[in-house]
Amino acid sequence: MDHSDNTVWRGTTILSLRKGSQVVVAGDGQVSMGQTVVKSNARKLRRLAGGSVIAGFAGATADAITLFERLEGKLEQYAGQLTRACVELAKDWRTDRYLRRLEAMMAVADKSVSLILSGTGDVLEPEDGIIGIGSGGGYALAAARALIGIDGIDAEEVARRAMMIAAGICIYTNDKITLEKLEY
């Protein structure tokens, strides 16, 4: 993706983390085109597999919707086995002529695993259960790692605070946070 082109749609922040008996995926709402905010309340998260999987995307919207649909199909094919479905999607994403042109990353989580998926065939499970993707992902990830050990705040509060920190640093991230969580 050429970020010097002002017509490129950019930016997003997706954060996923686990604390206690919760897994949370949060996303900001900003869609930017060049130096213009086109939309401030976009929804970049989707529940899949009857609500048992939460997925967030960073990248081109149409590409992400295609990937959500493909992942939903893989989850049906592999009876809700998130890791297996993600590995199979990553194989297709990397080898299919159409899919390999898609520009997006995904953070997905269910009650037992959190994964990062990319078009290069990566299916990664972070050892600490915290994922940050998109232009503000590194900021949200760092903030979540700093906040996660604080007693008295749950996963949702850690995610909200970390996303607000990212929104204060990354110009392609705003404070219109969407959050989904699963209890386990």
Per-residue pLDDT of 36-85, as tens digits, reads 999 999 999 999 999 999 999 998 888 888 889 999 999 999 999 999 99
Three-state secondary structure call for residue 72: helix
Task: Summarize the confidence of residues 99-105 as an average pLDDT.
Answer: 78
In tens, the pLDDT along 151-177 reads 999 999 999 999 999 999 999 999 999
pLDDT band at 98 (very low <50, low <70, confident <90, very high): confident
At 164, list the tokens: 């607000």
Residue 30 or residue 62, greater confidence? 30
| The pTM of the whole model exceeds 0.85 | yes
7 is catalytic: no
Active-site residue among 12, 13, 120, 173? 12
H/E run at residue 26:
strand 22-27
pLDDT band at 8 (very low <50, low <70, confident <90, very high): very low
> Which CATH number fits the domain 9-183, given the four candidates 3.40.449.10, 3.40.50.720, 3.10.20.740, 3.60.20.10?
3.60.20.10
> Angle at the Cα of 111 (from 99 to 81), degrees rounded to 5?
45
pLDDT band at 10 (very low <50, low <70, confident <90, very high): low
Mean model confidence pLDDT for the chain: 91
Q: Where are the domains of the chain?
A: 9-183
Q: What is the DSSP string of 88-131?
A: HHHHHHHH-TTGGG--EEEEEE-SS-EEEEETTS-EE--TTS-E
| Cβ-contact 139, 170 below 8 angstroms | yes
Whether the per-residue pLDDT at 138 is higher than 50: the answer is yes
